[in-house]
Amino acid sequence: MKMESTAWPDVRSDLASTRRGAAIFLDNLADGVICGATGRQTWAAKWTEIGDAQCLLADRNINKKAFDEAAEAWLCALTSFEVARRLINKDDPNSGDISAKVDADIHRFGLSLRQKVERVQIAWCDQAEFPAYYVPAGHPDLCAPAVICISCEQETGATLLGRLLPAVIGRGMSVLVISHDDVSNRSGVEPEMLLSCCLDYLSSRPEVDAGRIGVYGDGLSAALATAFAASDRRVAAAVCDGGLWSLARDLAAVSWMTRAADAVDEDIVSTHRSGEKRDCPSAAYCVRRSAAHRTKYIG
């Protein structure tokens, strides 16, 4: 197949190598080494081909019953697709193709491996539900912490899960991933109530430590996360990334979400932060909350 011949030489067989390659590439992108719409489209196609090849490698490993190697290849594919997604505009027709590849990758990952990715429904009133992805910590006898993760605006839960899976697999925590639109666009229903239903769901899972459940909000969902932490005292911790430090995020990109070894240049980050620092309306509350719950932490 043409895809194999063009993409296979660039495939890395382990997640660490893929993360390093993604981080180096995105550093070059931020530094202007890669520029112009044509260049971005070319590289988006290349990273998509790499992700496709990694999926083929995962399928081959599944056929050989090498499940751990298949998991590694699928996580590499998700990382490659995330790089490709960042290179194209949202209105680009290829954006939908990459999203479909991420959805398919997550589905196959969940069906074939011991650590499942569950598609669940969160009930919030009689005969009313909204969808979520649930990834258990990986051991049925482990009472582990959990995090409710809310995607940024106009982003599906699957897209956020594609970024998170390489970070959370094997780290001893459960995650419940939901879409921003599913909890913020319901007439007459406060998002805090829907997020409390998510917390109720996690608390009912026997493998989740109900005393160590946190919330993470990406983009504008940071406001949802802080409001939820203020309204429900069961929340042990809140991580609210409001997107104020966009340069740091661009530099780190996939490496930040996947905890790659290559760190962001702290001097650059500090300079950017000093120029864009703004007051968070929930900051004082979060400090008090952190002090009150310092014995309850996530991970």
8 A C-beta contact, residue 203 and residue 293: no
8 A C-beta contact, residue 89 and residue 96: no
Q: Model pTM greater than 0.85?
A: no
User: What local confidence, expressed as pLDDT, does residue 264 receive?
Assistant: 45
Q: Is pLDDT above 50 for 273?
A: no
Name 60's Cβ contacts closer than 8 Å, sequence gap at least 6.
none
Task: Give me the residue label for tokens 């599906």.
Answer: 156
> Crossing angle, helix 67-87 and helix 15-30, to 10 degrees?
10
Q: Is pLDDT above 90 for 215?
A: yes
| C-alpha Rg value of the chain to the nearest Å | 19
8 A C-beta contact, residue 138 and residue 158: no
User: What local confidence, expressed as pLDDT, does residue 283 receive?
Assistant: 42
Query: Given pLDDT bands bounded at 50, 70 and 90, which one contains residue 13?
Result: low
**Mean of pLDDT values over 257-272:** 46
Pairwise CA distance, residues 238 & 289, whole Å? 9
Pairwise CA distance, residues 138 & 170, whole Å? 7
User: What local confidence, expressed as pLDDT, does residue 294 receive?
Assistant: 34
For residue 125, which phi and psi values (nearest 5 degrees)? -165, 180
Q: Is pLDDT above 90 for 233?
A: yes
Number of alpha carbons in the 13 Å side-chain half-sphere of residue 295: 0
Helix segments in 32-174, DSSP class H:
37-63, 67-87, 93-112, 157-168
Q: Which helix (H) or strand (E) holds 212?
A: strand 208-218
Q: Is pLDDT above 90 for 280?
A: no
User: What local confidence, expressed as pLDDT, does residue 31 receive?
Assistant: 62
DSSP letter for 1, please: -
Q: Which helix (H) or strand (E) holds 271?
A: helix 266-276
User: What local confidence, expressed as pLDDT, does residue 35 receive?
Assistant: 61
Q: Is pLDDT above 60 for 27?
A: yes
Q: Is pLDDT above 90 for 202?
A: yes
Nearest to 218 by CA among 289, 147, 299, 272: 147
**Mean of pLDDT values over 166-182:** 88
User: What local confidence, expressed as pLDDT, does residue 205 receive?
Assistant: 93
Q: Is pLDDT above 60 for 281?
A: no
Residue 44, amino acid: A
8 A C-beta contact, residue 214 and residue 145: yes
What phi-psi label fits residue 138: left (phi over 0), alpha (psi between -120 and 50 degrees) or beta? left
Least confident of 13-22, 104-113, 173-182: 104-113
More confident residue, 14 or 173: 173
What's the mean per-residue pLDDT of the chain? 75
Pairwise CA distance, residues 70 & 65, whole Å? 9
Furthest CA-CA distance within the chain = 59
pLDDT in tens, 117-147: 888 999 987 778 999 999 988 776 678 999 9
Task: Give me the residue label for tokens 């019953």.
Answer: 65
8 A C-beta contact, residue 144 and residue 172: yes
More confident residue, 224 or 27: 224
Counted residue by residue, the chain has a size of 299
Query: Given pLDDT bands bounded at 50, 70 and 90, which one contains residue 245?
Result: very low
Pairwise CA distance, residues 159 & 103, whole Å? 8
User: What local confidence, expressed as pLDDT, does residue 104 receive?
Assistant: 81
Percent of the chain with pLDDT over 70: 69
Q: Is pLDDT above 90 for 65?
A: no
User: What local confidence, expressed as pLDDT, does residue 112 receive?
Assistant: 58
* Pairing mode of beta strands 174-178, 144-150: parallel
Q: Is pLDDT above 70 for 7?
A: no
pLDDT in tens, 35-45: 666 677 888 88
User: What local confidence, expressed as pLDDT, does residue 235 receive?
Assistant: 95
**Mean of pLDDT values over 220-241:** 90
**Mean of pLDDT values over 194-223:** 93
Name 156's Cβ contacts closer than 8 Å, sequence gap at least 6.
99, 179
**Mean of pLDDT values over 229-254:** 68
Pairwise CA distance, residues 1 & 8, whole Å? 11
User: What local confidence, expressed as pLDDT, does residue 268 receive?
Assistant: 42
